[in-house]
Structure 1
């Protein structure tokens, strides 16, 4: 009687081919995964997957049944469907056509379909439709432009609940003297009330980002509480003040780029108000650029550490030991000029502008030796009022 052909333990059956096991393994590994598509990190696509966090964001927005909500970067719609249940309409602005198609497909055939409008485009470049509340798991690369765009709107939303990178959220709520205090901090807190709501770990996203996140609620000041100040004027002033936030105002406002900009704006102001402008050169005066550089150079020694605009963030220490420099180079160092003299001559209008700036910083506000990182919004308002009184504008 013949022997029964039984398969060995852990082996393949006798009637199977040698590569059947490998082929089945290859097929299982090549089976399509549940992912819809590969996320594009260039667009900052990190999808919020934790439903608890999404519920908390919607709750903090205090939505009303009549609200129109603008959502920036809805992704696959995990947060969108929760917003749709609480409001009248959601306007979702999405840059990626794949995401726009996915979120449209998600609500198709449901009662939520009529409440969703998807706009394909860049929220920073487009003109926004009217809306009441802004909710967004914000792509990190547009965080700052989005904030400035929302605050500059003539009719800003009642509430904005936004997800940001943790450090950016800390900048929004920083105070004078803090290391993260910046132009963004002043603008955001001058035009709105900013509240840090909660921290969100990176494992709540798919794929996980490399940084931690935070949720911030921004409530713009409306009606009588909204400052009666031009947004362009105030932000233009802050751009100059925070160009080097740890330099004194005397140094920040004396650079040739700033003086040239102020002179140009002053000419426009005079032309619009029929004020004659004195033209011509100042004879026998030093070059204007030389004095600009001297003011900046004298202030470098007073620059404090932690300046995020400087390469080193402070003054590098050097050894006080013996100098091994050859005598020949020491003599050349003392005889050669420090810099090439500038060819730009002083103009009469330039001298008028310089005197106006000096008067504002030293006489009117006494802020010449202050630094932007230490000033509050009242100091910047005093600066703006004093400059405007002298006919210097920034819009």
Structure 2
């Protein structure tokens, strides 16, 4: 393919301006670029998107072709069936627009799937937010996106995980009104470096991880989500006479449970489903959890 590309520009005005880089786009150090236009291998769609969004300096726009369903997930809005963790993470970092459909008959031989072209424009400057905290919360929210948040967050498994986070986390501070995290009095230098969008390797590594995991979610999607969180009803089973959760009798930190429940009630998200929440809603929720000392990263 590379030989054919060089052959086509040989003797033309663009011959001296063409540079071909051969390698794995997910591993190769990308040069500076302003625009990215690609017919992407569909199996690397998600990690490629996050690889591009982690690239510095930031590019102006990317026009990419994906499998139709993946493209619709990138552009899905709250309430859409395909709205998922991938949708929220990508739209937090970029503006995404669906440009056109590409029928399979446009290819030889025709593939088994339909395609779409999307335009991705990174938000510049990027949002100042702790992405580990952000995505840690989203993982919980989208365990079962059709469930109410209170049913999700009061699972025994979730509460135990949050308790472990609380025990091991340093004092990281609180999330401000503008979405930025302010270091606490006991925050170390290492903690502070995690509080806002890191322009270096740490951010790239995190995004690469998100890309791989979101890709797996895309394959599974919500059909398998009913297998997640078998303890929802147990976490929601409240003794009406005492007003205390039965989970408190089984080693769950009652104070943490009350903090989580307080956040959900005060933000009016207790009976809201993840699939209905906007990015601003998730930002408000994360900020409220931080004010109660609840951590996800």
Task: Identify the match of residue 31 of structure 2 among 129, 141, 150.
Answer: 129
1:163 paired residue number: 65
Shift of 1:136: 1.0
Cα distance per residue 1:307-328 (max 9 Å; x no partner) = 9523598xxxxxxxxxxxxxxx
Question: Which runs of 5 or more structure 2 residues have no equivalent in the other structure?
Answer: 173-184, 188-219, 227-246
Task: Identify the match of residue 214 of structure 1 among 93, 100, 116.
Answer: 116
Shift of 1:230: 3.0
Distance 1:109 1:242, change over 3 A: same
Moved more, 107-116 or 179-188: 107-116
Distance in 2 between residues matched to 1:125 and 1:351, nearest whole Å: 46
Q: Does structure 1 conserve the Cα–Cα contact (< 8 Å) formed by 2:144 and 2:225?
A: no
SS in structure 1 at match of 2:24? coil
Shift of 1:161: 0.4
C-alpha RMSD of the superposition: 3.0
Distance 1:392 1:114, change over 3 A: farther
Distance 1:151 1:392, change over 3 A: farther
Distance 1:262 1:193, change over 3 A: same
Distance in 2 between residues matched to 1:220 and 1:188, nearest whole Å: 9
2:169 corresponds to 1:269 = yes
1:173 paired residue number: 75
Distance 1:106 1:392, change over 3 A: farther
Q: Does structure 2 conserve the Cα–Cα contact (< 8 Å) formed by 1:152 and 1:231?
A: no
Shift of 1:215: 0.9
Cα distance per residue 1:153-188 (max 9 Å; x no partner) = 454311110111112222222211111111222223
Distance in 2 between residues matched to 1:113 and 1:134, nearest whole Å: 19
Specify which structure has the higher proportion of helix: 2
Choose 1 or 2 for highest CA Rg. 1
2:88 paired residue number: 186
SS in structure 1 at match of 2:169? helix
Moved more, 189-198 or 373-382: 189-198
1:391 paired residue number: 293
1:357 paired residue number: 260
1:231 paired residue number: 131
1:369 paired residue number: 271
2:215 paired residue number: none
Distance in 1 between residues matched to 2:259 and 2:137, nearest whole Å: 15
Shift of 1:143: 1.2
Question: Which runs of 5 or more structure 1 residues have no equivalent in the other structure?
Answer: 1-98, 276-306, 314-341
Distance in 1 between residues matched to 2:164 and 2:254, nearest whole Å: 14
SS in structure 1 at match of 2:116? strand
TM-score, normalization by structure 1: 0.52
1:310 paired residue number: 223
1:198 paired residue number: 100
